[in-house]
Structure 1
Amino acid sequence: MSLALVLAALDDPAAGAGEARQLRLYRLLKAAILEGRLAPGARLPGTRQLAADVGMARNCVLFAYQLLLAEGFVEADRGGTRVAVLPLGMAARSPQRGPAGADRLSRRAHQLPAINRSESLLPFAPGVPDLNAFPWATWARFLHRAWGEVTARQLAYAEPGGEPDLRRAVAAFLSARRGVACTPEQVFIVAGGQVALDACARLLADSGDTVWLENPCYPAARNVMLAAGLTPVAVDVDRDGMAPASGLWQAAPPRLVYVTPSHQYPLGSVLSLERRLALLAGVEAGGGWLIEDDYDSDFNHAQPGARPLPAIQGLRPEAPVIYVGTFSKLLYPGLRIAYMVVPRWAASGLGEGIRKLYRGGQAVEQRALARLLESGQLTRHLRRMAPLYRERQAALRAALQAGFGAGCPVLGGQAGLHLVLGLPASVPDTALAEAALEQGLAPRPLSAYYVGTTPDNGLVLGYGLTGVARIPELVTRLVGVAEKVRKAGGVSS
């Protein structure tokens, strides 16, 4: 089938109102592959040619191709990019209603809160870096070199625990950037942050064990713990991070404690040194584990040029701490490469458990990432992006304060790529988020991150994707939507 027919909808406004063209290109190509309209083995045009054909920046085409490559829909070789042969059963089929329908799901499946990521490339979507600013051409060169070194081993399952070159490079990177004390043997590469959390939940705790979660909390982390059959205990967060109530260590002793100390998600607080030491002492005394999700540690805005507070793991390297992180904010979320750093004394046992539970993959991408880290290119990219993100945050903070007034506090901002806007009770955050999405904006309601009956009311607003010039107009649009929601009595129309 002609690729021209597949791309005919690229500029059709009815095909994806408010959707970025690079995302629409990815979606159209993916749908055509799934439906068989682009046959296995079919060659896709080079990125420069396709960019010229559709009037799009080459980086946007690279973005679409890299997502398709990461998800296995295309393959890259010396001749370019071709459609991959999909596994049996992966092609799209007419939906069929199975016996008993959703009743066949487990009770745990029904308990999982919904997470909507369909709007992740719209303005104000939190947790997304500026994908257009990433040096895709540089990354493509490292990938090309890695593919040029491919042997049968790289095409089979990846090395258990990850490619040795990447484990060495990650250990060096974390030592220099985050004060993590580890050897390459303590580093395990897994397919994304949620797989790392799943490994912690299944290998460090048993069904029914207690896990402390921040309140508010990263929803995907809560889902992982629920799916593993653990019993979550919501621990409130204040300006200094997780704040266990007096007596909670005795009333609900945790097997696992999950924290995002570098930039609490979503409120943005930084866990104080006193709290870090107290949590370490608590898990050591109780025979538990601390899971340190170093979310949003890459960009420190509080003191430009200064190193952020070192990782908890570096305070006592032999403590029962699992340090978890990804390259999603520096590379792109679809890469699905994460790392776990485990204590030296637990590396053998945890490594064996990881090998038994999960199959490794993306050996070629791992080799390319190792070279990227070793070259210093990723660190240079981080240094280029840090002032850009600080400028965007300052513009967003100023626009929010001007548009919403002093009655709506702006929280967070010491690190990361998002801010939190407090809202009055007359403007429910869920209704405002739904109405904003209809206007092409994707903030998330703060209340959705909470467990309990009296959550805070506000919006989580990402600024990673949004240029400074667009921020005032977008905030003005959001102010207008908020006013409509308020006048409608908190119901979006």
Structure 2
Amino acid sequence: MGLARNTVLYAYEQLATEGYVSSDRQGTVVVDLKSNVRLSVRLSVQLSGQLSVRAGESDAAQDVLPLAQARLSRRAQNQSHTHNQAQLQVQSQEGAALDSGASKNTVDAVLPDAALTSAFAPGVPALADFPQASWRRLLDRAWRSCSVAQLNYGEAAGELRLRVAIADHLRASRGVLCEADQVFITDGTQSSLDLCARLFADVGDIVWMENPGYKGALTAFHAAQLQVHAVSLDEQGLAPDEIDIVQHRPKLIYVTPSHQYPLGSVLSLSRRMQLINHALAAGALIIEDDYDSEFRHDGPPLAAMQGLVADAPVLYLGTFSKTMFPALRIGFMVVPKHLVAALTRALAHAVPRGRACDQLALAEFIQSGQFAAHLRKMRRLYRHRRDVLSAALSLHLGDLGVVCGGSAGMHLALILDARAPDTLVCAQALQQGIVVHPLSLHALSHAAPVFNGLVLGYAQIAPEQIEIAVEKLAHIVRQLVR
């Protein structure tokens, strides 16, 4: 074919990463995805009796016909117009408060503000490398063109121009199947999670969560009085078993498939299709938190779950806190088409939007190509910092820990020797100005399996500082082991 060997190897590695092929000593074979999916469908039929299977269809994803389609929760449907307005305004403010204080970490509340930009605080982008001058020009232009009407409350779904820009970007970069009317602007991922928990589930409904998982999601689900059911992980990601399916029928399924938080695994393609089938069988919605998958280091970004099946039962969540800067406070949800009208009505008088100029500036930032250029620059920067951190951890802690989760994102997970409790490591590191988060605190309950280790954000730390910080961490760990 006239292709270089490295090009071919790179293509096969990408196919393996996405779960299309598997390799062993015998060679590389195409994974029988259809058999895996149909096995999942048969299991779901036996367990729930809620599916019917079409005969003769070539696409396994089309074999599933849900009898019950996901809809707004009863509490969202039953609220009167007046009560809906007052109640959801309070809930929106609560969600915004959660979002401003709950990033993907566990100890922000007890840390000084300066520590949040220290090594190795997770979830913090390289703020010094954001193009502030360009952003100020866009803001100035937006304010000059702002009308008097735009100083009032805006549409609950957000500025149309930004929704169009986001939809175009997601179709091109993430394989998301959506139109602008399916995009709803929020105040960030935590605000999106709060809305999902309250609008798509009722008190006492079950939500599946990855274990270990993101504590911000756990907070939102507990605030909405949902039953959180911890589902274990394996090398392919979320791994529900028959007990999960039969005894803990979900209303919502929360996953971080492209870069599991905090371990960093990638949900395989066959597992994604099985999860979609489980959701269809249960009449559930999958919440796909795509928090940092724009930063894919080993190959191009993986396609989102939302785009794998037409009209997939997926609520796709994204944020600009990681790709741009946290203080922007803009995130978004992409909802299935059949939910657009109901969600629009539910939010119309309940979540009044503002900050039109910020949204218009962001729309121009995306549509002008500056956002894509910024992402390319950050990918190179973060890939280099990941490599430096990986090498330093291997050199100084290779005998006492295992690094995982480096294929994407802005953090690594380090599984530590049990003789060095991660909470003690983090406490002693903080005394030396190093912010690391204990992996054990990401367990969803005391009864759930607990990983001992560290979550290490590397996006905001200069490469020359990484080696010094890792040496200090290694000294702390070795002292505890001794």
* TM-score, normalization by structure 2: 0.75
Moved more, 448-457 or 138-147: 448-457
Q: CA deviation at 1:248?
A: 1.3
Give the corresponding residue for 2:260: 264
1:464 aligns with 2:459: yes
Q: How does 1:174-189 map to 2 (within 5 A)?
A: 174-189=170-185
Match of 2:331?
Answer: 338
Q: Does 1:479 align with 2:470?
A: no
| % same residue | 46
- Cα-to-partner distance string for 1:12-39 (whole Å, 9 max, x where unaligned): xxxxxxxxxxxxxxxxxxxxxxxxxxxx
SS class of match (2:202) = coil
SS in 1 for 2:399: coil
CA distance in 1, matches of 2:414, 2:312: 36
Partner of 1:428: 421
How big is each residue's C-alpha offset from its partner over 1:195-224, in whole Å with a ceiling of 9 and x where there is no partner? Answer: 111111111100000000110111111000
Rounded to whole Å, the distance in 1 between the matches of 2:365 and 2:154 is 19
Provide the C-alpha distance between the structure 2 equivalents of 1:162 and 1:445, rounded to a whole number of angstroms: 37
Aligned-pair distance for 1:114? 6.4
Q: 1:419 aligns with which of 412, 415, 418?
A: 412
Match of 2:211 in 1: 215
Does the residue aligned with 1:271 lie in a helix, a strand or coil? coil
Q: CA deviation at 1:153?
A: 2.3
Q: 1:486 to 1:407 in 2, by over 3 A?
A: closer
Contact 2:418 2:452 (C-alpha < 8 Å) held by counterparts = yes
Aligned: 1:276 with 2:269: no
Whole-angstrom CA distance in 1 between matches of 2:348 and 2:221 = 20
CA distance in 2, matches of 1:481, 1:243: 35
2:392 to 394, 399, 423: 399
Q: Which residue of 1 aligns with 2:167?
A: 171
SS at 1:196's partner residue?
helix
1:143 pairs with 2:136? no
Specify the alignment match of 2:403 in structure 1.
Answer: 410
Determine helix, strand or coil for the equivalent of 1:212. strand
1:116 aligned residue (108, 113, 128): 108
C-alpha deviations, 1:39-97, integer Å up to 9, x for none?
xxxxxxxxxxxxxxxxxxxxxxxxxxxxxxxxxxxxxxxxxxxxxxxxxxxxxxxxxxx
How many angstroms apart in 2 are the aligned matches of 1:160 and 1:455? 40
Amino acid at match of 1:478: L
- AA in 1 matched with 2:406: G
Alignment check: 8 A CA contact 1:432 1:481 kept = yes
Residue 238 of structure 2 aligns with which residue?
242
Please name the residue that 1:205 is paired with.
201
The secondary structure found in structure 2 opposite 1:433 is helix
Match of 2:368 among 369, 372, 375: 375
Matches within 5 A, 1:443-462: 443-451=436-444, 452-453=446-447, 454-462=449-457
- Which residue in 2 is equivalent to 1:7? none
- Could you tell me whether the CA contact under 8 Å between 1:317 and 1:343 is conserved in 2? no
Encode CA deviations 1:157-199: one digit per residue, 9 max, x unaligned. 2222000100000000101110011110110001111111111
CA contact (8 A) 2:291 2:322 kept: no
Distance 2:137 2:305 in 1: 35
**CA distance, structure 1, for counterparts of residue 238 and residue 200 of structure 2:** 21
1:300 aligns with 2:296: yes
Matched with 2:9 is none
Report 1:27-38 matches (<5 A). Answer: none
1:20-99 equivalence runs, <5 A: none
- Report Cα offsets for 1:391-424 as digits up to 9, x if no partner: 1101101101111123311111110010011111
For 2:348 and 2:197, how far apart are their aligned partners in 1? 15
Task: Kindly indicate whether residue 221 of structure 2 is the aligned counterpart of residue 225 of structure 1.
Answer: yes
Give CA deviations for 1:268-326 in whole Å, capped at 9, x if unaligned. 001111111011001111111111111211111122xx3x2211110123122110000
Distance in 1, matches of 2:328 and 2:380, equals 24
- Give the AA of the match of 2:414: L
* Counterpart contact for 1:265–1:295, Cα < 8 Å: no
Residue identity opposite 1:199 in structure 2: L
- Secondary structure of the 1:420 match is strand
Paired residue secondary structure (1:331)? coil
Aligned position for 1:285: 281
Consecutive unaligned residues in structure 1, runs of 5 or more: 1-112, 488-493
1:294–1:446 Cα change, 3 Å: same
Q: CA deviation at 1:335?
A: 1.0
Tell me, yes or no, if the aligned pair for 2:107 and 2:437 is still in contact at 8 Å: no
Out of 419-428 and 205-214, give the one that drifted further.
419-428
The higher-RCO structure (CA 8 Å, 6+ apart) is 2
**2:432 — aligned with what?**
439
TM-score, reference length from structure 1:
0.74
Q: Tell me the residue number matched to 2:86.
A: none
Query: How far did 1:236 drift?
Result: 1.2
Which amino acid in the other structure matches residue 116 of structure 1? D
Q: Deviations over 1:74-123 (max 9, x none)?
A: xxxxxxxxxxxxxxxxxxxxxxxxxxxxxxxxxxxxxxx96425332111
Match of 1:127 among 113, 123, 130: 123
| Mapped partners of 2:419, 2:376: distance in 1 | 41
Q: Please say if residues 159 and 363 of structure 1, whose CA atoms lie closer than 8 Å, have aligned partners that are also in contact.
A: no
C-alpha distance in 1, partners of 2:202/2:410? 35
Match of 1:362 among 352, 355, 359: 355
- Asked whether the 8 Å contact 1:258–1:291 carries over to 2, the reply is yes
AA in 1 matched with 2:325: Y
Change (3 A) 1:387 1:314: same
CA contact (8 A) 2:231 2:244 kept: no
Amino acid at match of 1:202: R
> How many residues were matched structurally?
372
Structure 2: how far apart are the matches of 1:356 and 1:211?
Answer: 27
Shift of 1:357: 3.5
TM superposition shift of 1:356: 4.1
1:384 maps to 377
Secondary structure, in 3 states, of the residue corresponding to 1:409? strand
Partner secondary structure for residue 117 of structure 2: coil
The answer for unaligned runs of 5 or more in structure 2 is: 1-104
Q: How big is the shift at 1:478? A: 1.2
Question: Pairwise CA RMSD of aligned residues?
Answer: 1.4
Query: Does the 8 Å contact 1:301/1:414 carry over to 2?
Result: yes
SS in 1 for 2:242: coil
Structure 2: distance between partners of 1:144 and 1:211: 43
Shift in CA distance, 114/181, structure 1 to aligned 2, threshold 3 Å: closer
Contact persistence 1:239–1:269 (CA under 8 A)? yes
